[in-house]
Chain A
Amino acid sequence: MFAFLVRRLLALIPVLLLVLVIVFSLVRLIPGDPAVTLLGPGATRDQIIALRAQLDLDQPALFQFWSYFIGLLHGDMGHSLKSGQPVLNEILIRLPATLEISINAVLIAIVVGIPIGVVSATRANSGFDHSVRVISLTGVSMPAFLLALLLQLVFAIWLGWLPVSGRISPYFFVDRVTGFSIIDAWLSGEPGAVSSAIAHMVLPTTVLAVFLAATLGRFVRSTMLEVMDEDFVRTARAKGLSRHDVVYRHALRNSLLPAITVIGLKFAEMLGGAILTETIFSWPGIGRYMYEAIRNRDYPVIQGATLVFALMFMLTSLIVDILYAVLDPRVRRKMS
């Protein structure tokens, strides 16, 4: 297990370096002189020279990358051109908001998607199966901003059941302790704060969860069907086990392992969706921060947020690989 971990981490190094090169190159891809583009038409010569120096643009490329790399090791992602604050601090402040809705979305998607996939597989080609297929294909074909808009229109504006946007009702004074709104609302002790926090979270979480649940349901269905064809399932049937035991103790357990990989991979795509979702619901996470940075042409922030999204993705794949190794005895044995 230890050897596997070391090998996996070592393999990560060249990819991580290339990821850094890509993120580093972003500012250098700006056509013309980035400093002039960033400052806009009204900039003075002195401002341009100062910004060039701040971004190291007056140095050779290799030196620029080296100082970017060393900066990152010290937790320095540069400063926002808009607010002047360190990018890392601004991202860390917003990280809990993004994690809150994405983790909840993963949990909801697992609870909804897996049972749907199992039922579809056990009733393959039934009316239920076909409608699930169409619904889930609709789920993956839906632009996140359209779903967000529809939910907002129906549940917040027309029915008035849920808040339109934001994280908690402005009537509550909740101090930031952990950055997670439900926990902070609970710590504040204000009656009604927790339910307000939850109500605000429902719509953005649903938008993210729909996509993942749709993908997961389809995937579990097809792996279940493949597994049901395998010899060990036939043996289990031949032994006279009940249908319930065959499906849930043999087939399902073996279909869930590959599902972990899908959850990990799709989690990353969901993070991309968070940019659109957070923008529509004014959810103060990294996604909306990135959107504001695009509007303001705040490149250090765009770079920082891109890198954090990539790191979160790489970390998820690493965790998925480790989980896979821990859970699957075949992989475990091969490693040791």
Chain B
Amino acid sequence: MRDLKRFLANNTLALAGTIVLAILLLAVLIGPFLLPSPLAIDMAAKLQPPSFSHWLGTDNFGRDMLSRVLEGGRYTLAIGVLVVAFAFVVGVFFGLVAGFAGGIVDTVIMRVVDAILSFPALVLAIALAAAFGPSLQNAMIAVAITLAPQFARVARAQALGVSSRLYVEAAHALGLPRGRILTRYILVNAIGPLLVQASLAFGSAILQTSALGFLGLGAQPPMPEWGADVSANLSFVRSSPWTALGPGFAILITVLSFNLIGDSLADWFNPRRRSAA
């Protein structure tokens, strides 16, 4: 906790990101109780510009854009957490196993990792989501698959580094089971860089899932997901730009906040960059 305080005190940008995220979290938790339903259609009030009664205007069904953006925020934050958690668990598992087992297991796992990383991440996510069928859940799985290899690489490198340490050899000599050594000794000591990777992955997870939503491969209407909302309002952008810009800027602000924190964390954990910065 004291480390966290010191980190935030020394990193204005990370502090700014944390504050914005906190406000966002509060808004998406409380907002929907105070606003009209994001699905409530009111054709009499369609495509209205931002005003006191509709802060972000309304879309072509007269739905309140602020309600939609806040409800979409619930999805987006949940998407970020779930996608990163899934990628983390899968990637770290295979990375640790590869680094710990070595030999043919290592070779096979790492070649698969190389192959997945040979695709531009968004292209692979699009292709997988298109194959699984368009839905938010499938889009999230597709994005997690493209993010997992990065965790695998970091976890493997850490496992290789830690495996040769004396305390791990001691644990082996004591006859501890391999699974226990892997979780209690290797994972615990590799967690720092993995957390940095995770904080940086949030931004990518949200960006990519919203891109899939934009392309029609993620959340389906009328679900108020940000990327899908930008795309649904594209045809009104000339006359009513707020319909697409509201959810679009919501993505930017959220991803930027995560990246401000992730970037500062990466500096914090890297002494060379810290002294340089």
Q: Residues of A with Cβ closer than 8 Å to B?
A: 14-15, 18-19, 21-23, 26-27, 29-31, 124-125, 133-134, 137-138, 140-146, 149-150, 152-153, 157, 222, 225-226, 229, 268-273, 275-276, 279-280, 290-291, 294-295, 297, 299, 302-303, 305-306, 309-310, 313-314, 317
B80 to chain A, nearest CB (A): 13
B250 to chain A, nearest CB (A): 10
Q: Decide: A26 and B263 in contact? CB cutoff 8 A.
A: no
Q: Decide: B127 and A303 in contact? CB cutoff 8 A.
A: yes
CA A76 to CA B84, docked complex, whole Å: 38
Does B116 count as interface, using CB distance less than 8 angstroms? Answer: yes
Q: Which of B28-36, B48-56, B89-97, B210-218 lines the interface with chain A?
A: B210-218
Q: Which of A268, A279, A291, A317 has the most CB of B within 10 A?
A: A268
Q: Which B residues lie within 8 Å of A309 (CB)?
A: 119-120, 123
Q: Can you name 24 A-B residue pairings with CB atoms under 8 Å?
A: A18-B111, A18-B115, A19-B118, A19-B119, A21-B115, A22-B119, A22-B124, A124-B276, A134-B13, A137-B260, A138-B252, A143-B207, A143-B211, A143-B227, A149-B237, A225-B273, A229-B272, A275-B123, A280-B234, A306-B123, A306-B126, A310-B118, A310-B120, A314-B118
CA A146 to CA B244, docked complex, whole Å: 9
Q: Decide: B256 and A138 in contact? CB cutoff 8 A.
A: yes
Question: Quick one: given A125-B277, A313-B119, are A29 and B126 in contact (CB under 8 Å)?
Answer: no
B120 to chain A, nearest CB (A): 4
Question: Quick one: given A141-B252, A143-B248, are A149 and B230 in contact (CB under 8 Å)?
Answer: yes
Q: Which A residues lie within 8 Å of B120 (CB)?
A: 268-272, 309-310, 313
Q: Which B residues lie within 8 Å of A14 (CB)?
A: 111
Question: Quick one: given A15-B114, A137-B259, A149-B248, are A229 and B276 in contact (CB under 8 Å)?
Answer: yes
| The one of A18, A149, A229, A291 that contacts B112, using a Cβ cutoff of 8 Å | A18
- Count how many pairs of residues, one from A and one from B, have CB atoms less than 8 Å apart in the complex: 159
Question: Which residue of B has the minimal Cβ distance to A34?
Answer: B131
B104 to chain A, nearest CB (A): 13
Q: Decide: A145 and B211 in contact? CB cutoff 8 A.
A: yes
Question: Which residue of B has the minimal Cβ distance to A287?
Answer: B123
Does B122 count as interface, using CB distance less than 8 angstroms? Answer: yes
| Cβ contacts B188-212/A at 8 Å (1 or 0 each) | 0000000000000001000100110
CA A29 to CA B130, docked complex, whole Å: 10
Q: Which A residues lie within 8 Å of B124 (CB)?
A: 22, 306, 310
Q: Decide: B237 and A276 in contact? CB cutoff 8 A.
A: no
Interface of A is mostly: helix
Q: Which B residues lie within 8 Å of A317 (CB)?
A: 118
| The one of B216, B217, B241, B255 that contacts A153, using a Cβ cutoff of 8 Å | B241
Q: Which A residues lie within 8 Å of B227 (CB)?
A: 143, 145
Interface of B is mostly: helix
Known: A15-B118, A229-B275. 4 other contacts (CB 8 A): A141-B252, A153-B241, A226-B272, A310-B118
Q: Decide: B210 and A143 in contact? CB cutoff 8 A.
A: yes
Does B133 count as interface, using CB distance less than 8 angstroms? Answer: yes
Does B223 count as interface, using CB distance less than 8 angstroms? Answer: no
CA A273 to CA B120, docked complex, whole Å: 9
| The one of B116, B122, B276, B277 that contacts A273, using a Cβ cutoff of 8 Å | B122
Q: Which A residues lie within 8 Å of B272 (CB)?
A: 226, 229
Ranked nearest first, the 5 interchain pairs of A and B with the lowest CB-CB distance are: A272-B122, A18-B115, A225-B276, A146-B248, A272-B120
Q: Decide: B133 and A30 in contact? CB cutoff 8 A.
A: yes
Q: Decide: B123 and A143 in contact? CB cutoff 8 A.
A: no
CA A56 to CA B135, docked complex, whole Å: 28
Does B5 count as interface, using CB distance less than 8 angstroms? Answer: no
Q: Which A residues lie within 8 Å of B252 (CB)?
A: 138, 141-143, 146
Does B2 count as interface, using CB distance less than 8 angstroms? Answer: no
CA A263 to CA B198, docked complex, whole Å: 23
CA A279 to CA B215, docked complex, whole Å: 9
Question: Which residue of B has the minimal Cβ distance to A23?
Answer: B127
| The one of A22, A270, A294 that contacts B126, using a Cβ cutoff of 8 Å | A294
CA A270 to CA B237, docked complex, whole Å: 25
Does B251 count as interface, using CB distance less than 8 angstroms? Answer: yes
Q: Decide: A291 and B215 in contact? CB cutoff 8 A.
A: yes
Q: Decide: B215 and A276 in contact? CB cutoff 8 A.
A: yes
Q: Which A residues lie within 8 Å of B128 (CB)?
A: 26, 29
B128 to chain A, nearest CB (A): 7
Question: Quick one: given A141-B203, A145-B214, A271-B123, are A26 and B230 in contact (CB under 8 Å)?
Answer: no
Does B165 count as interface, using CB distance less than 8 angstroms? Answer: no
Q: Decide: B277 and A269 in contact? CB cutoff 8 A.
A: no
Q: Decide: A294 and B116 in contact? CB cutoff 8 A.
A: no
Does B61 count as interface, using CB distance less than 8 angstroms? Answer: no
Question: Quick one: given A30-B133, A143-B207, A143-B210, are A272 and B121 in contact (CB under 8 Å)?
Answer: yes
